[in-house]
Amino acid sequence: MTETGSTTIPTSPSYASGTSDVPLLGDTIGANLDRTAARFPGHDALVEYATGRRWTYGEFDADVSTLALGLLDLGIGKGDRVGIWAPNRAEWTLLQYAAARIGAILVNINPSYREHELEFVLNQAGTRLLVAAKRFKSSDYEAMVEQVRSRCPDLEHAVFLDSPEWESLWRRGTAADPGRLTAAKAELSADDPINIQYTSGTTGFPKGATLSHHNILNNGFFVGELCGYTEHDRVALCPPFYHCFGMVMGNLACTSHGSAMVIPSEGFDSGAALAAVDAQRCTSLYGVPTMFIAELDRPDFDGYDLSSLRTGIMAGSPCPEEVMKQVIDRMGMTEVAICYGMTETSPVSTQTRADDSLRRRVSTVGRVGPHLEVKIVDPATGLTVPVGESGELCTRGYSVMLGYWRQPDKTAEVIDSARWMHTGDLATMDPDGYVSITGRIKDMIIRGGENLYPREIEEFLYTHPDILDAQVVGVPDERYGEELMAWVRLHEGSPELTVESLREFCTGKLAHHKIPRYVHVVEEFPMTVTGKVRKVEMREQAKRFLGLGTA
């Protein structure tokens, strides 16, 4: 409550709902693709920059149908789980839409998984068919599949890309009766489960977020709407397809608008990303902040023509202000959007708009998306907190997953009786409905009874002239419970950074209890395949080389 003279004015609750004149889509993914292909048959649908392969919407739609018929002829149908274990390449996208067209549930498998993780996911999902690359980077997928196959009783087929078995699948589709596909499509509902995406599993075994046509088609569509996509847009997709960022915010945003999907490379490569934008005249570029940092830091950056860029999406972790300024000024992405979400919410819940100020884009994750609700609650009581107060961000609406695959107990831990998804993220909401993420409940550092949020400290460290990137984690401390440690990457040619010099830089500008006690200079941070920094791993490494026990 606030007081004005003798009048008490109630404080608004931290709640917002997304209104829209555009209705939700009631399509299945396959039906939506059919409509787009009928409208724009000659427009580019998919371009694989590294190989030069490309598909118009007419060609893409036809190949999706052929692959779908091949799956049906193999005995795969509605509700069967089909695993995909591969980097970004055209076949990943074709299988995504082919599985959706017949109602098979696509199981996204992280390209960095090792044998034990692969075995767990195949068995937990009950996967009947696995489509995989033969290898990627240092991973020999064929050998790993051979190792686990005898321990995966549900796995009937393993088909590797660029193999005779893959070619056979296509021949099956070419020879099959098209009427089988028509019959299969008639059995589908937009509310059917269509995708299982596994969470990172940093606190135990991964959980399979189960998503419907309705979940991910609408999320991709409305993300594209807020980016202003039309059939004239061309989107460079750097994030991996196994993650929602690539296959939903990327692929589905494009196909629901008739835009072109451009794959710069199998795995992220900063030079390939910029070259693809240049050669394909991309209007939009996707990435996590570390990807944009790598692109901007290239010595040959000015040699690429990026004048076609208008927009793009930065998501996955907070965007430093200096990085956002360069993305707008040097890349020309004046309408670049910040998105916030999680796998369990398809993923996007909030997004900045094209006309939002620089301050909004770096200090907030935007406003709630169309047809969605968000609120911020006290984690202890579950009650909505007043505007401006910190609490746990919750979201509700069409995007919330059906549940964790075969884990109703885990589902009940995060989705309450009113269908609110509890994100585990700490946030605040301002009077205009803009949300700021202040940290993870689990990432919050408690030093001597003070609650410290890494994001605030990291933002300050970016102002140091020698620091390219910074991450702050908590490490055990006998006196304070936890102490702060800064992991930093330096600009090329920068002098050595010591604890003493960094503390001197911070003194008088940061409260003393927010100044890192430890500094660790690295060339790269531990990262997930999606480009997110693995703070859990950083904390564990820090404890080892500092010789610290557990708090």
Give pLDDT tens digits for 223-257. 999 999 999 999 999 999 999 999 999 999 999 99
Backbone angles phi, psi at 93, to 5 degrees: -65, -40
Is the pLDDT reported for residue 9 higher than 90? no
- Residue among 85, 78, 46 nearest 62 (CA): 46
Q: Is the pLDDT of residue 5 over 90?
A: no
Is the model's pLDDT at 511 over the cut of 80? no
Mean pLDDT taken over the chain: 93
Q: In the predicted model, is pLDDT for residue 111 greater than 70?
A: yes
Q: Which of 14-23, 365-374, 520-529 is the least confident region? A: 520-529
Angstrom CA distances, 161 to 166, 278, 314, stand at 6, 29, 31
Q: Which carries the bigger pLDDT value, residue 324 or residue 530? A: 324
Residue 352 contacts residue 311 (beta carbons within 8 Å) = no
Fold of 446-546: GMP Synthetase; Chain A, domain 3 (3.30.300)
Answer yes or no: is pLDDT of 3 > 60: no
Q: What is the pLDDT, as a whole number, of residue 7?
A: 54
- Encode pLDDT of 35-89 as tens digits: 999 999 999 999 999 999 999 999 999 999 999 999 999 999 999 999 999 999 9
> Nearest CA to 131 among 174, 166, 164, 98?
166
Distance between start and end Cα atoms, the chain = 38
More confident residue, 128 or 460: 128
What 3-state DSSP class applies to 134? coil
Domain boundaries, the chain: 29-371, 446-546
Cα(396)–Cα(294) distance, integer angstroms: 35
Sign (positive or negative) of CA dihedral 352, 354, 358, 360: negative
Residue 130 tokens, joined? 């696995």
Q: What is the mean pLDDT of residues 418-438?
A: 95
Q: Answer whether residue 446 shows pLDDT above 90.
A: no
* Cα separation, 54 vs 279, whole angstroms: 14
- Cα separation, 28 vs 78, in Å, equals 13
pLDDT band at 447 (very low <50, low <70, confident <90, very high): confident
Q: How confident is the model at residue 8 (pLDDT cuts 50, 70, 90)?
A: low
- Residue 439, SS3 per DSSP: strand
Instruction: Please state the pTM of the whole predicted model.
Output: 0.85
> Residue 204 — very low, low, confident or very high, per pLDDT cuts 50/70/90?
low
Mean pLDDT score, 336-340: 96
Mean pLDDT on 144-149: 97
Give me the pLDDT at residue 354, please. 95
**Spatial contact of 220 and 258, defined as CB atoms under 8 Å apart:** no
Helix (H, G, I), strand (E, B) or coil at 497: coil
DSSP state at residue 258? T
> What does the pLDDT average to over 15-39?
98
Between 164-175 and 57-73, two packed helices, what is the crossing angle to 10 degrees?
100
CA dihedral 318, 256, 194, 63 (to 10 degrees): -120
> Within the chain, how many helices (H) and strands (E) appear?
18, 30
Q: From residue 407, how far is each of 18, 124, 153, 206 by CA, in Å?
A: 30, 10, 20, 11
Q: 431: burial class by Cβ within 10 Å (0-12, 13-18, 19+)?
A: exposed
Residue 200: band (very low, low, confident or very high) from pLDDT cuts 50, 70, 90? low
How many CB atoms are located within 10 Å of the residue 310 CB? 18
Place of tokens 């009631």: 26
Task: Tell me which CATH homologous superfamily contains domain 29-371.
Answer: ANL, N-terminal domain (3.40.50.12780)
The amino acid that residue 533 corresponds to is V
- Cβ contact 403:414 at 8 Å: no
State residue 267 phi and psi, 5-degree precision.
-120, 165
**Percent over 70 (pLDDT), the chain:** 96
Tell me if 239 sits within 8 A of 245, measured CB to CB. yes
Question: DSSP 3-state helix, strand, coil percentages of the chain (rounded to 5)?
Answer: 35, 25, 40
Looking at residue 57, its pLDDT comes to: 99
What is 51-100 written as a DSSP string?
TTEEEEHHHHHHHHHHHHHHHHHTT--TT-EEEEE--S-HHHHHHHHHHH
Q: Tens of pLDDT along 296-320?
A: 999 999 999 999 999 999 998 778 8
Torsion angle in degrees (nearest 10) through CA of 166, 172, 175, 181:
-110
Task: Read off the pLDDT of each residue in 194-222 and give the average, rounded to a whole number.
Answer: 88
Of 220, 245, 250, 225, give the one whose Cα is nearest residue 235: 250
pLDDT score recorded for residue 441: 79
